[in-house]
Structure 1
Amino acid sequence: MKRLNWLSMTAMVVLMALVVSACGGNGGGNNAGTSNSSDGASTSGEAIKISLLNSKGEIQTQLEEAAKTFQEDNPNITLEIMAAPAGTSPFERASTLYASGNPPTMMMLDTGDVEKFKDRILDLSGEKWNADAVENATKLTTFDGKNYGFPLAIEGYGFIYNKAVLDEAVGGSFDPSTIKTRDDLENLFKQIEATGKKALIISPMDWSLGAHFLPLAYAGQDRDMAEVDKFIDSLKAGTEDLSGNAVLNGLLDTFDMMKNYNIDKKSPLAGVYERGPEVLGKGEVGIWFQGNWAWPQIHDFDTANGEYGFLPVPISNNPDDFGNQEISSAVSKRIILDKEKSTPEQQEAAKKFLNWLVYEEKGQDFLVNQASIIPAFKNITLPAADPLGQSIQYYIAEGKSQESMSTLPADHWAKLGASMQKYLGDAGDRATLIKEIEEYWTSVK
């Protein structure tokens, strides 16, 4: 009897060892897994949890739905979408998360922020999608021959117009090519207001004024971005006298004109982002300075299913001046992958998500049709699903694009956005604004 019990116990131990071995358990936690498929995804069947910091608040809901769809295709991977707090730069939020020792697996950053995290994130140069990215898409995130950023989207911005409002104003079908100068634009504003509608709304957020509007003065210095870079260097060196700069002063002349036609002229700093798509989509104003990322919100208010497009922001009354007929656009948001805290299994799962976006039909559908993103990959041939994306694609195809300033310092929008807010609210004159711009740049290290 005793011998039989001993044999039974021995057999049980052997059996348990075989079961553990069969499960492949050689790693701790929920992210264990040692068998990888050819595309880097875990095939162990063990649960892997990854996260993505989203800095495009307007697509939070769409991203959450995409995460669910991705998990349906990859049942062992759970993807959490973390929203960056409104009004906080992606760089600030990512820095805070690193300081807390709890960075997400993936972080969506602005282009200029990628290099700051270079030593803490994965080299993505070996990923297949690098070869399928549009021209120069990875140029600004490549350092020492290694690319660290996944180019998520091409974005553009300028004056968004509601065609129905403009058609009524001009007494026919509005042709955007007729607006080539500041005077052309002001005449259009006058025509709109003659119908009883308001011409324009200016959204006073610091990121809109500091990251989008003011940088038109930098990018508009020259068609050659190498010359623009030299201009920025001169600002940093304190050798550029902006008081005599024709492009900056021309842009501010346009801004002064915009202030006169702003629907919120009496309280220009009281507006919030959500007010812009509402009054434009409802046809209460004809024009809003913003980017193609605003389409989902405009669409929510547009019960008439109307037509929309972009107008450039003219800086002068010479139609041939650079910028007067060009739309600002560039690859904007980038996704980086943490290498400090994430496990190899999490890193591989994150890479699989990026490949899913680029190569899987459901991922492409999310980018183009759900999130209204213009993809930065040649293999994605789906046409833009919304009129703003289509308008941006048209300007690019026509060679009428001005490269956006994608590598501005992380605090540019907050500091100079505040300066632009003072100018918008008449709390500071042009000389004060120019002085603050110059002082900001000489403080940049």
Structure 2
Amino acid sequence: MKSWKWMQALALSLLVVMLVTACGKSGESVEGSAVTITFLNSKGEIQSQLEEAAKAFKEDNPDITMEIIPVPAGQSPFEKASALYASGNPATITMLDTGDVEKFKDRVLDLSGEKWMADAVDRSTALTTFEGKNYAFPLAIEGYGFIYNKAVVDQAIGGTFDPATINTTGALEELFKKIEASGKAPLIVSPMDWSLGAHYLPLAYAGQSADTAAVAQFVDDLKAGKVDLAGNTVFNGLLDTFDLMAKYNIDKASPLSGTYERGPEVLGKGEVGIWFQGNWAWPQISSFDTASGQYGFLPVPVSNNADDFGNTQISSAVSKRLVLDKEKNTAEQQAAAKKFLEWMVYSDKGQDFLVNKANIIPAFKNITLEAKDPLAKSISDYIAKGKSQDSMSTLPADHWAKVGASMQKYLAGAADRSVLTKEIQEYWKSVK
């Protein structure tokens, strides 16, 4: 009898040991199990760089595989992300435009408690924070203005060009005249509706005030029909500068015939001195570069008072954001995605990917790598000096197409300023 009880006790002990061991192994397998995450990329120019980053990340995290899914050409990130959610298969990480984050906030993780929040640059998460919770990782700062070819401009002024001297509309015209007198075309105006409607015209909104709350109120007043653009100083000043651009445009005889591809070619080859565009254009400019990589940005002046806001500020903002799905991806996938975000901010390989491989201006103060891309470096310098103006990154989705078309008519001389002004105000009144 004692022997039987002893055998029962031994069997019970063995069972307990087996259960404990099994639980331990189960925990170990979750911790060390392989996990695959997906990344929806809406910044097509860095697709290959992201694929390389996924490989570098896996070298540091062997149990995590990241697959990069490109947003098809012609489809917006909002449309692709929405389609993936509709199919029940959203990406673990989705790259969205700033204005789209709020539309997904109920389906993505609150990232307010992440380590990198403390290192994010000022105001970089403000537009993706709702009811005190931040839902997005600020991936890339982009900026735009007048890109100048230093070799052309140095020749035109007969010395070393100081971009700080161009701080009024009058100073800009004097520079145009000097470039023209040197035998080169002063500038090229790319007539795409997205350039005119999403980048140029919004300077009239952002330039109303250095206070972002005041700018937001101005836009609300536009929607409510309370703004008289015809009498607005900043709006008219910006159009005065646009009139100068049209006057000195290399394509002024046929202003709507230009293409995006023509801009980097004539600037890089030194056929024109200036091009209104953003730092994303560097890969194209560099393929034609005859100025030994010496390019930079000038702000777009809106008056002849150098002290007026906008005359010495460059337009910049976080243009791309990363959100993490919480509906369909597992806790392990979410943890892996968070690890990738930290890897970009804090590891040498991650920082190298952002700054050197993808030519991205990071939105984090701890990343001190200096940009090799001269346009990214120029934007970074303006930001470091406090000479930046927030880009309008939350405009309605159809803004660039509709008001861009109105700007094209104005550029071509098919509409005067009063018609343009009326069409812009009518657009805003139609926004729901």
Normalised by the size of structure 1, how large is the TM-score?
Answer: 0.86
SS in 1 for 2:274: strand
Residue 164 of structure 1 contacts residue 306 of structure 1 at CA under 8 Å; is this kept in 2?
Answer: no
Give the counterpart of 1:190 among 153, 177, 191. Answer: 177
Correspondence 1:174 to 2:174: no
State how 1:13-412 maps to structure 2 within 5 Å.
Answer: 35-36=30-31, 43-44=32-33, 46=34, 48-412=35-399
- In structure 1, runs of 5+ residues without a counterpart are 1-16, 27-32, 37-42
Residue 167 of structure 2 contacts residue 311 of structure 2 at CA under 8 Å; is this kept in 1?
Answer: yes
Give, in angstroms, the shift of residue 118 of structure 1. 0.8
Give, in angstroms, the shift of residue 82 of structure 1. 2.7
CA distance in 2, matches of 1:141, 1:300: 36
CA distance in 2, matches of 1:143, 1:80: 30
Give, in angstroms, the shift of residue 198 of structure 1. 1.6
SS in 2 for 1:107: strand
CA distance in 1, matches of 2:345, 2:61: 16
Indicate how the Cα distance of structure 1 residues 188 and 22 shifts in structure 2: closer, same or farther if over 3 A, else same: same
- In structure 2, runs of 5+ residues without a counterpart are 1-17
CA distance in 2, matches of 1:315, 1:400: 15
Aligned AA (1:135): D
Give, in angstroms, the shift of residue 136 of structure 1. 2.2
Residue 264 of structure 2 contacts residue 288 of structure 2 at CA under 8 Å; is this kept in 1?
Answer: yes
Residue 91 of structure 1 contacts residue 410 of structure 1 at CA under 8 Å; is this kept in 2?
Answer: no
Indicate how the Cα distance of structure 1 residues 256 and 304 shifts in structure 2: closer, same or farther if over 3 A, else same: closer
Give, in angstroms, the shift of residue 293 of structure 1. 2.1
CA distance in 2, matches of 1:227, 1:316: 20
SS in 1 for 2:422: helix
Indicate how the Cα distance of structure 1 residues 81 and 403 shifts in structure 2: closer, same or farther if over 3 A, else same: same
CA distance in 1, matches of 2:47, 2:407: 28
CA distance in 2, matches of 1:429, 1:52: 46
Aligned AA (2:210): R
Residue 299 of structure 1 contacts residue 305 of structure 1 at CA under 8 Å; is this kept in 2?
Answer: no
CA distance in 1, matches of 2:194, 2:339: 32
CA distance in 1, matches of 2:334, 2:268: 41
CA distance in 1, matches of 2:428, 2:200: 17
CA distance in 2, matches of 1:130, 1:122: 14
Instruction: Show CA shifts across 1:218-273 (max 9, x none).
Output: 01111222211211111111111111111111111211211122222233333332
Residue 186 of structure 2 contacts residue 249 of structure 2 at CA under 8 Å; is this kept in 1?
Answer: yes
Of residues 93-102 and 224-233 in structure 1, the stretch that sits farther from structure 2 once superposed is 93-102
Instruction: Show CA shifts across 1:329-368 (max 9, x none).
Output: 2222111112223232322222121111111100100111
Give, in angstroms, the shift of residue 307 of structure 1. 0.8
Aligned AA (1:35): V
SS in 2 for 1:333: strand
Instruction: Show CA shifts across 1:138-181 (max 9, x none).
Output: 12111112110001122221101110010111111111111111
Residue 293 of structure 2 contacts residue 374 of structure 2 at CA under 8 Å; is this kept in 1?
Answer: no
CA distance in 2, matches of 1:425, 1:97: 41
Residue 53 of structure 1 contacts residue 81 of structure 1 at CA under 8 Å; is this kept in 2?
Answer: yes
Normalised by the size of structure 2, how large is the TM-score?
Answer: 0.89
> Alignment identity in percent?
73
Instruction: Show CA shifts across 1:73-115 (max 9, x none).
Output: 3333332323334454433333333334433222212222111
Residue 325 of structure 1 contacts residue 400 of structure 1 at CA under 8 Å; is this kept in 2?
Answer: yes
Aligned AA (1:189): F
CA distance in 2, matches of 1:373, 1:195: 35
Give, in angstroms, the shift of residue 278 of structure 1. 2.0
Segments of 4+ moved more than 4 angstroms: 21-26
CA distance in 2, matches of 1:216, 1:181: 15
Aligned AA (1:104): A
Indicate how the Cα distance of structure 1 residues 265 and 330 shifts in structure 2: closer, same or farther if over 3 A, else same: same
CA distance in 1, matches of 2:129, 2:183: 51
Q: CA RMSD in A?
A: 2.5
